[in-house]
Amino acid sequence: MIRRMFVVILLIQIVFQSAIADEKPEDRKSMTKTLSLLAGGRIRDAATNRPAGDPVRTRLVKVDDALGAHLPPTAAIAAVYGHNWSQHPYRDEIIALLVGTDTIARGRLAAISHADLSLSVADNYRAVLNLEFREALKTAFPYGGLDSVRRPVWKITFTMKRISNSEVVPTESSSFPFSYEAITFTSENRQFASVRGTKTIFTVSEENAYLLLSREVSQSVVRDLIDRVLADEEQSVPSPAAAIPL
């Protein structure tokens, strides 16, 4: 059972790495620069730096035109990108646009990226979990965004503990089941989001299980927080925005 799972994971990694290999380095570099310009509010510059006829350029010009027509940022984004932002194929573009144009989204994502952490985990693994969380939190605020030293201070409390194998079905000799809970509070001490769950890691040792779970869960928690910001922003669109054909 465990060997079969490792084979499946290996195959997934091979496919993923092949997809990355097929992507040209200059394309990744170009998109990184585009997202940085968007996060800094330079939409027209981001568009004109893309090749003529490029679909990214087309979308950004339409957003910039919508903003020029005095649509609020969320309405301009909705008019071009439509709905379901958290699962959107151009999610990174939407996040960068929000950071560059919308003060509420910018403040919330900056607060998440610098959130205070209160970790309840076995002492041997607290430093590892703290490091993984810090790396995950950085992804909440895109490079190039205008962060503020006066950002609100948010706090994330996180609890993770190993539970007995007998509490999880099916059981495996090399399985390490855990329970976890993350609660995020705003600077006003209001609960912004919470998530809890259980996760079983199949590996060779408890140490490896903690290492793998720390990375996986911290990334998942941060993504959920970003998705919550996206959902709130999408719901704040003042009126149904007429879609702008791409």
Q: Give, for all 246 residues of the chain, the pLDDT tens digit.
A: 444 433 333 333 333 344 434 445 557 788 999 999 999 999 999 999 999 999 999 999 999 999 999 999 999 999 999 999 999 999 999 999 999 999 999 999 999 999 999 999 999 999 999 999 999 999 999 999 988 656 678 999 999 998 875 544 444 457 899 999 999 999 999 999 999 999 998 888 888 899 999 999 999 999 999 999 999 999 998 765 555 655
Every domain of the chain and the residues it spans = 25-101, 110-233
Q: Are 197 and 158 in contact (CB under 8 A)?
A: no
Helix (H, G, I), strand (E, B) or coil at 92: helix
Contacts of 18 by beta carbon, 8 Å cutoff, 6+ apart: none
Residue 118: the pLDDT is 96
* CA contacts within 13 A on the Cβ side of 61: 14
Query: Architecture of domain 110-233 in CATH?
Result: 3-Layer(aba) Sandwich (3.40)
Instruction: Output the pTM of the full model.
Output: 0.82
Helical residues (DSSP H) of the chain, grouped into ranges: 2-22, 25-39, 43-48, 55-68, 73-81, 91-101, 103-113, 126-138, 206-235
Phi, psi of 198 (to 5 degrees): -125, 150
In this predicted structure, what is the pLDDT of residue 26?
52
Tokens 């503990």 belong to residue: 161
